[in-house]
Amino acid sequence: MAAMFQHLITVSPLGFMYGSAGAFLSPENLVGRSGSKFPPDAATLSGLFFSTNHTTKQSITHHTELAQKLYVAGPFWAESNTPETFYVPIPRHRVISIEKQEDDEWFLDDKQCWQRNSEPKKKDIEPDCFWQSIDSWKRKTRLIRTNKEAKKVPWEYVSFLHPKMKDDERHVMERDGLFLENAVQMDEDYCLVYLSTHALPDGWYRFGGEGHMVEIASHPLTPDSTINQLLHPDNQIKRACALITPGVWGSNKLSYRYPKHNEFPRCGLKMLTDKAVPYRYRMGNRKTERGRQGKGGQLGRGRYAVPVGSVYVFKQPLKKTWWEFPGAWFEAGLLKKEGLPPEESLLKKVGCGLCLPVEIQGVV
């Protein structure tokens, strides 16, 4: 049987969760949230696993095993008292409006073109809700809305105006001395959720781009949990699937809307998606001029990802689960160039392109 997620990792903020420093204030930039991003990607949790494995007395597992077998995915979120019923992005073919108490769906007509529901009153519905509970994944759109299993995110952005201090003095800089920090305040009854093949020791950690304090706990996931059932080999993707994490396909320099690998069935492929989103998935060590490792780290090459919720419709049944996707689908050419086996795909190890089967009207 294919691998599965064995643990659910909850991340509970201790105060403000995450901040990203915006550009310095100037006459051209007096408002806005420059560089804000939330929640942190699964790669952040993956990095925390490796740093914890190196720095704590009680290691998680052998480093080689962790490098080969650790898979994480997310981000998701849930109510703190029921983390197993976490919320995932709604597939883009579902249109749910909480404010108007209406719903709609995209479907494929006889000419295999995307269409909205034929009722005139529904054509004006715009989605204002983009997350649904994992337990409602197979339900009809109308039931998801009426059962209140779709919700808006439980956090909001809060901007702070900060003085920038001189490096060697306790004085505010005379020029470009102010900047905006964008923190996120989560409802105290909610937490972030990630999936993992390994447990992370419970405790307090610094997490995210600004190193804010969070409380992390690991919860066991059984094979009959909803997410593992949806990813079970008996529940293979037939003709349609939807992303619940961003999807990056291509080489180490280029990104595509779908895998460019020869074995990927792109003939007759239909997509329902939106514009690409920025995505970074690794940290590199900054080195000095003499080749020595520096004190800090630096972000790797930025990529563009297919956004969550994007729907793929295949001409023929795919007959695979996400676990069975070859690593070369994620990083075509890169694995072969570096002499690595397909299962060593870093992008797959951080849950890139995690997708679940969906049913689309007009797709048999």
Q: What is the pLDDT along the chain (364 residues), one digit of tens a residue?
A: 457 899 999 999 988 775 544 434 444 444 444 455 788 899 889 989 988 887 765 567 788 888 889 999 999 999 999 999 999 999 999 999 999 999 999 999 999 999 987 676 666 789 999 999 999 999 999 999 999 999 999 999 887 776 666 666 655 555 666 666 677 889 999 999 999 999 999 999 988 766 678 999 999 999 999 999 999 999 999 999 999 999 988 766 778 999 988 899 999 999 999 999 888 765 444 444 444 444 444 455 578 899 999 999 999 999 999 999 998 888 765 555 445 565 568 889 999 999 999 999 989 8
Look at residue 264 and tell me if it is in a domain. yes
Write out the residue range of the structural domain in which residue 174 sits: 1-81+155-226
Look at residue 290 and tell me if it is in a domain. no
Integer CA distances (angstroms), 175 to 21, 24, 35, 169, in order: 17, 10, 21, 15
Residue among 97, 108, 188 nearest 145 (CA):
97
Final residue in a domain of this structure, among 120, 151, 182: 151
Domain count, the chain: 3
In the numeric block, the tokens 């942190």 are attached to 40
Same domain membership, residue 61 and residue 47: yes
Same domain membership, residue 185 and residue 52: yes
β-strands 102-108, 114-116 pairing: antiparallel
* pTM score above 0.85: yes
Same domain membership, residue 336 and residue 252: yes
Look at residue 11 and tell me if it is in a domain. yes
Same domain membership, residue 241 and residue 276: yes
Q: How many helices (H) and strands (E) does the chain have?
A: 7, 24
Say which CATH number the domain at 361 has: 2.60.40
Same domain membership, residue 213 and residue 277: no
